[in-house]
Amino acid sequence: MTQARSSLGLRAKLIATVVAVQAFAIGLIATAGWELVDSSLETDIELINTQIKPLLASALTPPVAARDLVMLDDIARQALVEHGLRSLRITDAAGAVLTHARTDPTDPPEARREDDIALTIGADTVGRVHYSF
């Protein structure tokens, strides 16, 4: 009888140890997977950011210089949808906001990545674009 209890206790300890090791291994795998996804997302954001800067600059400079607010609103909303931006704020050279578009106004203000572009014609800065992913 004592040997049966000892055997049962040993089995329980062995099962508990195996379960603990498996849980630890699953945790390591999940952490590694999360880090891989996170680094992949960062790489994607960098690539999109590199591509979007010249597009935004060329599309927004003429309407900012002309102060065409209707065109700026339209371009801002299209950029949000087509390029996965969370927000896009366009200001003139004096810093006055010409348009500010957001995907969801109730979203918290923190963003994964933010950037800022100067809109220039020759040597003159006509405005700035601030956007976030």
Does the predicted model carry a pTM greater than 0.75?
no
Mean pLDDT, all residues of the chain: 87
Structural domains of the chain, ranges and CATH numbers in brackets:
2-132 (3.30.450)
Q: What is the pLDDT of residues 23-46, one digit of tens each?
A: 999 999 999 988 888 888 788 888
Nearest partner of 117 among 58, 44, 31, 30, judged by Cα: 58
DSSP per residue over 14-82, as a string?
HHHHHHHHHHHHHHHHHHHHHHHHHHHHHHHHHHHHHHHHHHHHHHHHHHHHHT-HHHHHHHHHHHHHH
Q: What is the pLDDT of residues 41-82, one digit of tens each?
A: 788 888 888 888 999 999 999 999 999 999 999 999 998 888
43 Cβ contact list (under 8 Å, min separation 6): none
